[in-house]
Chains A and B, each alone.
Chain A
Amino acid sequence: MPSFKAILSALVTIALVVIFNRSWTVGTTIPPLGKFLDPFHGFWRNAETRNIPVEETEMDGLLDEVSIFYDSALIPHVYAKNEEDLFFVQGYLTAKYRLWQMEFQTHAAAGRISEIIGDKSIDFDRGQRRLGMVYAAQRSVEEMEKDSTAKMMAHRYAAGVNAYIQSLNYETLPFEYKLLNYWPEPWTPLKSGLLLKYMAKTLNIGDKDFEMTNALKLFGKETLELLYPDNEHVGDPIVDNPNGWKFKPISLDTVPVALPRDFVQVDPLEKSAPDIGSNNWAVAGSKTATGSPILCNDPHLELNLPSIWFIVHLNAPGYNAMGASLPGAPAVISGFNDSIAWGVTNAQRDLVDWYKIEFKDGTKNEYLSDGKWKTATKVIEKISVKGKADVYDTMIYTHHGPVTYDKSFHVESESEKNNYAFRWIAHDPSKELLTFYLLNKGKNHSDYMSALNNYSSPAQNFVFACVNGDIAMRIQGKYPVRRQNEGRFVLDGTKTSTEWHAFIPNDQNVTYKNPERGFVSSANQYPVDDTYPYYVTSTSYEAYRNRRINSLLASMKSITPQDMMKLQADNYNLKASESLPGWLKMLDSTKLSDEEKVAYQKLKSWDFNNTVNAEAASYYEAWIRVLYPMVWDEVFDSKVSLPDPTAYTTIKLIKEKPELSFFDIQSTPEKETAVDVVRKSFSQGVKEIEKWKREKQKDPTWAAFKDSYIQHLARLEPLSYHVIHGGNGSIVNAHSRRNGPSWRMVVSLEKNGVKAWGVYPGGQSGNPGSPYYNNMIDVWTADRYFNLHFNSSAEQVKTFAQSSSTLKPKGK
């Protein structure tokens, strides 16, 4: 019989094991300390060295042997004997380096973050579901399943990811799972669909219909057009082809746009930052040193770790493509092969509408449509919450789409009348995977054109260049045919006449090939000249980057890839050059304080480059940050949500209409003009800089003041990095505090072999314990590139490979 002490001691031991074997929530979540700290299996096992381990594995699911060669940047060059194995291994390798990120992003897309981090994200999760993200992904997966190629890609990729997941044990489990204490679930084609919809949401969900509706009611039509014009008519459109549109456009019966009578009292979900955008261009051989075209792409997205991109080189008979892939989706998204190169920027286009729904009664079972009651479909969404009870949300689907906003979600008054259904192009079935497959294998311009015919969302400006000398641009997406002004405001959901009746046929989309000027480019500006026969509108268009890029490209000759790299890193602040001289003249230089005099001198002698050490850039930024809300106090302080006028319009109005009533600051008794606002905001901006200097105890150099930050997806500070880098939004080097060039690629399409360079602010490995987690960041901030070794034979690749691995089918 054990003694009392023995029993007590045994109980203490058991209690310790139990306590240390599970996670606890005390403010923050503490991982299971025994498991986590155990140096035999815990987090220490996620620490890695620069050596890339050789893998000789037999695995189920492979049809034949696959060789993988890694270069010094941990870029895998995959050599498979068939495409089934190629996508299997792409899935396997992407999971091996990025599994946690892949799953976290698709959980975010599906509104399942509360499962991992608890009740903080319930509102986010509800929002994702109410936007119909899973509904959209399901519909696109159904479409993928109908196409044998897309189906093969999605399923083989999923099988590869799952082969990796099955190989895991606690020791090899990615770090974040250990920290947050959960396990990965099996990968499915639906998750690939969710990832693509997540990108669609990031890029194409921009809309300001609610805000515009309120602005129209509050300000009237004339002021609305002054503050929020459809087209600012600045610079060249992406495709400038006046009177070149020789087709018969689809026309709709003219129905006057019925404007809603009431203010929209909705607190809209968070939108993408306005500095999310991208640059791409291609120059023809006539302008380059080698006589071959050069293509460049840099998509600007929120900069996070692990990075949104993963570089791969995929080779199989008939397939040889390299470039940036999205962890979670098969094939290369922005890249090149032996014959062609392609890249993407976001096409600014209104692809979102909101329909005000009239329900029969409080049960919301039926809603009005053309005088008849239609039945709504209800779906109960269950949101699992870590450490808390499940949350349920009832979603109502109309024929327009899901009712996102109703009295239980993000409305400012709990009226039964606030019901808005969401119509989004990404809800429609589509098969984007096929586009990328065909681009990966494309040989020429006509392959590019037919690849894009399969592409609907998110709408992108696809740049193209070919070894044979062709360059092209196509603004591809599925676009509803709109009547003038349709889609700018909330629509009446009780009338079918306002719905999307037709889509612009693919062969009528905006495109051109080999323009006379010798280059094509896009930087999220207005897409097309005024003779294009369809109505085009969007949340906003970028006014500066495109002009800077086009003016430089137009003047350049004998272009080398190094010139193109310099252009991607160009820090010239066109916005400042167009606004600052005028503003400085408005100041009364006799009445400046000592600090203001210093600022004035710095700004006056500035060359308008947002370089790392430029203090003037900080003063300008501080100034405009004060000026903008001071001008638009009527917008910011309004009780209803209103759209933000663009910086371009703001600057233009200061110059051209200084007496405009909006320049009056509402909180003061005086009547201010633009000059007063410019002066006041200058003084306050300088004060902000002085305050910053006192707090930080250092000089306000641009990079220090901007304080760019690349953040881990779980927002963990020790896994994130502050970086020193120039640039800003509206600048070609579009690196603001959190957003920037998430991938930079330059491809020279030379006849004797395609050469390419690429870099992104992160690293190939998603493991914070790997030297390859952040090794590209310093290269990226120095505006340097990695040579993307692209040799078509495995023999050549072996000559530079740091490590090679072989995956074999089991039992062969």
Chain B
Amino acid sequence: MKFIIQTLATILICFASQYFLPWWTLALASCAVGYYFNNSGFTSFAAGFVGVGILWLGMAYYLDTKTLAIMTEKINRLFPINVYVLLVVVGGLTGGFAALTGTLLKGKKLARY
């Protein structure tokens, strides 16, 4: 439950920051969410990873449906790795480590890995 709430909060806050600000502000947003929720390190990391992953995937999927994936199809041939996989790895890792940092900075609960 805690995981789901933090994930949803990450999606919401990151959406708000990303909408107006450059991509890297998602790290600050995810970190702040991690700090606010008192979850374990693992839960927090996972929530950051999954939250940003879902947000980015959802947004990319929405744009692809609208534009018949006209761009994605080309990038997939340009890159050696599927661009959706890459998207989750890049966004997820950044969001995950940012959330973990938030949790650890608060430091009330010992992180359980």
- Chain A residues near B (Cβ < 8 Å): 2-3, 5-6, 9-10, 12-13, 16-17, 20-21, 33-35, 37-49, 170, 175, 179, 716-719, 768-771
Is there contact, CB below 8 Å, between A13 and B56?
no
Indicate whether A170 sits within 8 Å of B22 (C-beta atoms), given known contacts A2-B107, A768-B71.
yes
Whole-angstrom distance between the Cβ of B21 and the nearest chain A Cβ: 9
Indicate whether A37 sits within 8 Å of B86 (C-beta atoms), given known contacts A13-B101, A48-B67, A769-B67.
yes
Residues of A within 8 A of B5 (CB): none
Is there contact, CB below 8 Å, between A769 and B71?
yes
Whole-angstrom distance between the Cβ of B66 and the nearest chain A Cβ: 7
Is there contact, CB below 8 Å, between B60 and A39?
yes
Is there contact, CB below 8 Å, between A9 and B66?
no
Docked pose: A768 CA to B78 CA in angstroms: 12
Residues of A within 8 A of B111 (CB): 5
Which of B19, B70, B101, B107 makes the CB contact (< 8 A) with A771?
B70
Which of A6, A34, A40, A770 makes the CB contact (< 8 A) with B94?
A34
Whole-angstrom distance between the Cβ of B57 and the nearest chain A Cβ: 8
Is there contact, CB below 8 Å, between B18 and A38?
yes
Residues of B within 8 A of A16 (CB): 27, 93-94, 97
Asked whether any CB of chain A lies closer than 8 Å to the CB of B4, the reply is no
The chain B residue sitting closest to A171, CB to CB, is: B22
Is there contact, CB below 8 Å, between A9 and B104?
yes
Residues of B within 8 A of A34 (CB): 23-24, 90-91, 94
Is there contact, CB below 8 Å, between A39 and B66?
no
Whole-angstrom distance between the Cβ of B83 and the nearest chain A Cβ: 7
Q: Give 17 A-B pairs besides A5-B111, A6-B101, A6-B104 with Cβ atoms closer than 8 angstroms.
A: A5-B104, A9-B100, A9-B104, A12-B97, A12-B101, A17-B27, A34-B94, A38-B18, A39-B56, A43-B71, A44-B59, A44-B63, A47-B63, A47-B72, A718-B78, A768-B74, A769-B71
Is there contact, CB below 8 Å, between B67 and A42?
no
Is there contact, CB below 8 Å, between A37 and B90?
yes
The chain B residue sitting closest to A41, CB to CB, is: B23
Whole-angstrom distance between the Cβ of B113 and the nearest chain A Cβ: 10
Is there contact, CB below 8 Å, between B59 and A40?
yes
Q: What 10 A-B pairs come out closest when comparing CB atoms?
A: A6-B104, A38-B23, A718-B77, A47-B67, A39-B59, A47-B71, A769-B71, A39-B60, A13-B97, A9-B101
Indicate whether A37 sits within 8 Å of B56 (C-beta atoms), given known contacts A21-B24, A47-B64, A768-B74.
yes
Docked pose: A175 CA to B98 CA in angstroms: 29
Residues of B within 8 A of A12 (CB): 97, 101
Residues of A within 8 A of B59 (CB): 39-40, 44
Is there contact, CB below 8 Å, between A38 and B75?
no
Is there contact, CB below 8 Å, between A41 and B22?
yes
Docked pose: A38 CA to B98 CA in angstroms: 16
Asked whether any CB of chain A lies closer than 8 Å to the CB of B29, the reply is no
Is there contact, CB below 8 Å, between A40 and B100?
no
Interface of B is mostly: helix
Residues of B within 8 A of A770 (CB): 70
List 7 A-B residue pairs with CB atoms under 8 Å apart, sorted by A's residue number: A6-B101, A10-B104, A21-B23, A39-B56, A41-B18, A41-B23, A47-B67
Tally the A-B contacts, defined by beta carbons under 8 Å: 115
Asked whether any CB of chain A lies closer than 8 Å to the CB of B47, the reply is no
Asked whether any CB of chain A lies closer than 8 Å to the CB of B87, the reply is yes
Q: Which among A3, A13, A17, A38 has the greatest number of chain B C-beta atoms within 10 A?
A: A13
Encode B52-96 as 1/0 by CB contact (under 8 A) with A.
Answer: 000010011001101101111011011000010011001101100
Residues of A within 8 A of B27 (CB): 13, 16-17
Indicate whether A49 sits within 8 Å of B66 (C-beta atoms), given known contacts A12-B97, A718-B74, A768-B74.
yes
Is there contact, CB below 8 Å, between A44 and B71?
yes
Residues of B within 8 A of A719 (CB): 74, 78
Residues of A within 8 A of B18 (CB): 38, 40-41
Is there contact, CB below 8 Å, between A716 and B70?
no
Residues of B within 8 A of A44 (CB): 59-60, 63-64, 71-72
Whole-angstrom distance between the Cβ of A648 and the nearest chain B Cβ: 42
Whole-angstrom distance between the Cβ of B79 and the nearest chain A Cβ: 9
Docked pose: A398 CA to B51 CA in angstroms: 67
Docked pose: A179 CA to B91 CA in angstroms: 18
Residues of A within 8 A of B63 (CB): 39, 44-45, 47
Whole-angstrom distance between the Cβ of B71 and the nearest chain A Cβ: 4
Docked pose: A21 CA to B25 CA in angstroms: 12
The chain B residue sitting closest to A11, CB to CB, is: B101
Which of A42, A170, A717 makes the CB contact (< 8 A) with B77?
A717
Docked pose: A33 CA to B78 CA in angstroms: 14
Is there contact, CB below 8 Å, between A17 and B94?
yes
The chain A residue sitting closest to B59, CB to CB, is: A39
Asked whether any CB of chain A lies closer than 8 Å to the CB of B9, the reply is no
Encode B4-33 as 1/0 by CB contact (under 8 A) with A.
Answer: 000000000000001100111001000100
Q: Which among A16, A42, A45 has the greatest number of chain B C-beta atoms within 10 A?
A: A16
Docked pose: A718 CA to B77 CA in angstroms: 6
Whole-angstrom distance between the Cβ of B76 and the nearest chain A Cβ: 8
Is there contact, CB below 8 Å, between A35 and B22?
yes
Docked pose: A175 CA to B67 CA in angstroms: 15
Q: Which among B18, B60, B72 has the greatest number of chain A C-beta atoms within 10 A?
A: B60
Whole-angstrom distance between the Cβ of A720 and the nearest chain B Cβ: 10
Docked pose: A43 CA to B83 CA in angstroms: 11
Whole-angstrom distance between the Cβ of B100 and the nearest chain A Cβ: 5
Is there contact, CB below 8 Å, between B104 and A40?
no
Whole-angstrom distance between the Cβ of B60 and the nearest chain A Cβ: 4
Indicate whether A49 sits within 8 Å of B67 (C-beta atoms), given known contacts A3-B107, A38-B56, A39-B87.
yes
Docked pose: A17 CA to B71 CA in angstroms: 24
Residues of A within 8 A of B24 (CB): 17, 20-21, 34
Docked pose: A560 CA to B51 CA in angstroms: 64
Docked pose: A308 CA to B49 CA in angstroms: 45
Is there contact, CB below 8 Å, between B71 and A10?
no
Docked pose: A175 CA to B72 CA in angstroms: 12
Residues of B within 8 A of A35 (CB): 22-23
Docked pose: A769 CA to B66 CA in angstroms: 12
Residues of B within 8 A of A771 (CB): 70
Is there contact, CB below 8 Å, between A2 and B97?
no
Is there contact, CB below 8 Å, between B74 and A2?
no
Residues of B within 8 A of A17 (CB): 24, 27, 94
Docked pose: A663 CA to B69 CA in angstroms: 57
The chain A residue sitting closest to B83, CB to CB, is: A37
Q: Which among A3, A35, A43, A48 has the greatest number of chain B C-beta atoms within 10 A?
A: A43
Whole-angstrom distance between the Cβ of B28 and the nearest chain A Cβ: 10
Docked pose: A516 CA to B93 CA in angstroms: 77
Docked pose: A353 CA to B64 CA in angstroms: 55
The chain B residue sitting closest to A6, CB to CB, is: B104
Indicate whether A42 sits within 8 Å of B70 (C-beta atoms), given known contacts A37-B90, A716-B78.
no
Is there contact, CB below 8 Å, between A40 and B98?
no
Residues of A within 8 A of B70 (CB): 47-48, 769-771
